[in-house]
Amino acid sequence: MIELPRYLQMLWNREPEGRRGPKPGRSITQIGTAAGAIADAHGLEAVSMKSVAAAVGFTTMSLYRYVDSKDELFAVMVDVAYGPPDLHFERGERWRDRMTRWATTITQRRLAHPWVTDVPQVAPPLTPNAIAWMESGLEALEDTPLTNQQRLSAMLAIDGWAQNHVRQSLQMGLGAGPPAPDSPQGAYLQFIGMLIDPARFPRLAAAGPDALDDDDEDFFAEEFARGLGLFLDGLEAVIARSR
C-alpha cells in the first residue's frame, strides 16, 4: 500500500503511532508560515531549504525531517497562505452569488500573498486547505442541476482563470487599486499611441484606450468582475439547458 508523504501526514494529522525518531520541534504549519513570511518580504526566489531552516532555528538537514524537497515546502507554504475558506453559504442564497463570493475570497487570499501564483504546480493539490477550497467551490454550486463532473469542471475553470488574472495583472504592474500617475497603464497608453496604426489595427487601437484610459478605474477589479461575469453567464446557460 502506498504511504502518504511525511509532509501530508503532518498536515492532515495522519502520522502513524509509534513513529521512531525525535519528536518534531516545530509544527509543519509553523514551517509553512516561516517560509511564507520570507516570500512576502523578499519574493519566492528567496525561499530555500537553508533560509527556511534558519528562520525556524533548524539546520538545513533537520528541515528534511518535515519535507523531502523544495516542491513539498512550496506546497506547505501555499496551503498556509490560503488558509481555510471560512465561507458560510446561506440557505436559499443564489448559486451565482455564492460562486462570486468564493472566487472573490480566494482571489483576495492570493493578492495578500502574490507569490502563490508563481509557485510551480507539479501535481494536483493534496493539502488540507487546498482541498477545503475545492469542497467549498463545489458547495457553492450544490443547488444547481449540474452533474458532479460539471460542477467540478466549472469550479476548476473559474479558479484557473482567477489565478491567472492575479498573476498576469501583477506581472504587468496592474494590481489591485487605482493606477498611479506613473504606472505601466499610463505608459501603455503612450506606447500604443506610438505603435498601433489605427488604419492597420482599428479594433486594437479602439480597445486599448477604452480599457485603460480611466484614471480612477481599478483595472484589476474591473477586469475581474467582467471576466468572472462571462464565466457565470456561460454557466447559467448550461444550467438553463440542463433544466
Provide the grid cell at 100: 462570486
Q: What is the pLDDT of residue 185?
A: 62
- The tens digit of pLDDT for each residue in 105-118 reads 999 999 999 999 99
pTM of the model: 0.86
Which pLDDT band, with edges at 50, 70 and 90, does 179 fall under?
low
The CATH code that applies to domain 6-82 is 1.10.10.60
95-177+218-242 CATH choice from 1.20.140.10, 3.40.50.1240, 3.50.50.60, 1.10.357.10: 1.10.357.10
Domain boundaries, the chain: 6-82, 95-177+218-242
CA 55, chain centre distance (Å): 25
Which region among 11-20, 97-106, 181-190 has the lowest average model confidence (pLDDT)? 181-190
How many residues are recorded in the chain?
243
With a cut of 70, say whether residue 238 has pLDDT above it.
Answer: yes
* Sign of torsion over alpha carbons 166, 134, 66, 122: negative
Which region among 2-6, 35-39, 107-111, 158-162 has the lowest average model confidence (pLDDT)? 2-6
CB 67 within 8 A of CB 43: no
* Rounded average pLDDT over 81-85: 97
Q: What is the pLDDT of residue 15?
A: 83
Asked if 6-82 and 95-177+218-242 have one fold, the answer is no
Provide the grid cell at 52: 527556511
Q: What is the average pLDDT value for the chain, to the nearest integer?
A: 88
User: Position of cell 501530508?
Assistant: 8
For the chain, state the CA radius of gyration.
22
The closest of 86, 80, 83 to 28, measured between CA atoms, is 80
Report which of residues 16 and 76 the model is more confident about.
76
